[in-house]
Amino acid sequence: MSITRKWTTYLLLIAATLVLMFPILYAFSISFMSGAEVLEGKIWPSSFSLENYRDAFEKVPLLHYLINSFAVSIFVMAGQLLVSSLAAFAFVFIKFKGRDAIFFLFISTMMIPWEATMVPNFLTAQKLGWINNYLGLTIPFFALAFGTFLLRQQFKTIPNELYEASQVAGISRFRFFWNVVLPVSKTSLVTLGVYSFLTTWNMYLWPLLVTNTEDVRTVQIGLKQMQTQEISTDWGVVMAAVVVVILPTLLLLFLGQKRLQKGLTQGAIK
């Protein structure tokens, strides 16, 4: 690569980073500002006081919400991994009539807008007594066409010989699934896991509908609540809450970026 091309690329990279990261950095910066500084429209805080963070945690039970979000995200992640991998396994390793039709049915669910099903789902959740508890926040999301698709693509890369070898050895199907397919697909499972975690963590409309007590509310709703309650009075506090909310996912993303990219594209295209 020629020197000029190298440096233009760097220049573009840096410029793009600055533009793209600005909102996040800006939120960080504001989260340290006093109310007056915010109103003056400063970009950089004069001092890094943690007061806003203290206030944020005081005003809404952020910590509690964070724990809820964690619980819900982990639960959904585990559920999606299990349910999707079971389905993907069937699609790859079990031959039966109508398999392709069912697979098509699965894929077609990606086309159904969640909002189109929102009202009946809400009623279902209500009938099942799932309002205001973790069940309502998690179980409806366990089945995931995208996840099934992603894992199916991964499972397809597992040589069929592995399956046949265990058939010859007399290993049961489920044992093969559990002891071979899952461990071998670790990377894709991690990818899907990160993806599930992020999307669940960031879920907004559904938790808004099915939670109305602080006991199970997730942090996104907490944020929205904080925003309704506090905005004019204190942007700084709200931004502190924003930072608290985005920090875990950003960290997760930074750690899992490489794997995520690998796994996502693998599932998406091939």
Among 50, 63, 82, 157, binds other proteins (CB under 8 A): 82
C-alpha to C-alpha distance for 164 and 168, rounded to whole angstroms: 6
Q: Binding of other proteins at residue 165 (CB under 8 A)?
A: yes
Return phi, psi of residue 203, to 5°.
Answer: -60, 145
* Residue 121, C-beta contacts closer than 8 angstroms, at least 6 positions apart: 140
Among 54, 58, 157, 167, binds other proteins (CB under 8 A): 167
Q: Binding of other proteins at residue 101 (CB under 8 A)?
A: no
Here's the x/- map for other proteins, 48-77, by CB under 8 A: it reads as ------------------------------
Q: Which of 95, 110, 252, 256 is nearest to 188 (CA)?
A: 256
Q: Binding of other proteins at residue 41 (CB under 8 A)?
A: yes
Q: Binding of other proteins at residue 20 (CB under 8 A)?
A: yes
- Which residue in this structure is represented by tokens 């489920």? 174
Among 74, 135, 162, 190, binds other proteins (CB under 8 A): 162
Segment near other proteins (CB under 8 A), from 38-46, 47-55, 70-78?
A: 38-46
In angstroms, give the least distance from the CB of 7 to other proteins: 10
Contact 140, 114 (CB under 8 A): no
116-135 binders of other proteins (CB under 8 A): 116-124, 126, 129, 131-132
Q: Binding of other proteins at residue 138 (CB under 8 A)?
A: no
Q: Which of 102, 105, 107, 82 is nearest to 91 (CA)?
A: 102
C-alpha to C-alpha distance for 175 and 182, rounded to whole angstroms: 10
In angstroms, give the least distance from the CB of 70 to other proteins: 14
Contact 188, 260 (CB under 8 A): no
Contact 115, 181 (CB under 8 A): no
Segment near other proteins (CB under 8 A), from 46-54, 70-78, 200-208?
A: 200-208
201-230 binders of other proteins (CB under 8 A): 201-202, 204-205, 209, 212-214, 220-221, 223-225, 227-230
Among 16, 72, 152, 154, binds other proteins (CB under 8 A): 16
Q: Which of 115, 125, 143 is nearest to 212 (CA)?
A: 125
